[in-house]
Amino acid sequence: MATFPHNYVITKDSCIISIDGESYDVTSWRNAHPGGAETLDNFHLKDATDSFFALHSKEAIDKLKRLSKKTTDMKALGIKPTDAALAFREFRK
Ligand code: HEM
């Protein structure tokens, strides 16, 4: 069961997520995320493209553009969208 955001204790040293082929280091920003740090931690080193665009406002998308530099080459790490994400993209076509 998910933890209430104010009760969530970060245990991961870093949090890097992939959106639209870019990677974002949200390690220091995650506590400020309105959707909670845990939701971001759950996507550490994963592709969050579909969840991100399905859930967020234009303001959040603008915020993403201002977020910290890309750090990790997700492709080099072999980070790929999950089967569920690929099925969702097909469904949206
Ligand atoms: C690093 C990229 C992200 C940014 C910049 C971001 C930013 C934001 C912002 C600004 C909001 C406030 C509502 C809005 O303006 O849409 C929000 C809400 C939310 N975010 Fe994110 N977010 C990110 C990634 C994610 C991811 C990967 C998830 C995964 C599920 C997520 C889940 C949520 C949820 C569930 C809310 C709604 C909270 C509520 O209304 O109670 N976010 N996010």
Topology, domain 5-92: Flavocytochrome B2; Chain A, domain 1 (3.10.120)
45-59 burial, b at 16+ Cβ within 10 Å, e below that, comes to bbbbbbbbeeeeeee
Q: How far apart are CA 5 and CA 39, in angstroms?
A: 9
Q: Do 29 and 17 contact (CB within 8 A), yes or no?
A: no
Q: 33 C-alpha vs ligand 1 centroid, how far in Å?
A: 6
Cβ of 63 less than 6 Å from ligand 1 = yes
Tens of each residue's pLDDT in the chain, 93 residues: 667 878 888 888 999 898 887 888 899 889 999 999 999 999 998 889 889 999 999 999 998 888 865 666 666 667 777 787 788 878 877
The separation between the first and the last C-alpha atoms of the chain, rounded to the nearest angstrom, is: 32
Q: Which residue ranges make up each domain of the chain? A: 5-92
Q: How far apart are CA 24 and CA 30, in angstroms?
A: 11
Cβ of 17 less than 6 Å from ligand 1 = yes
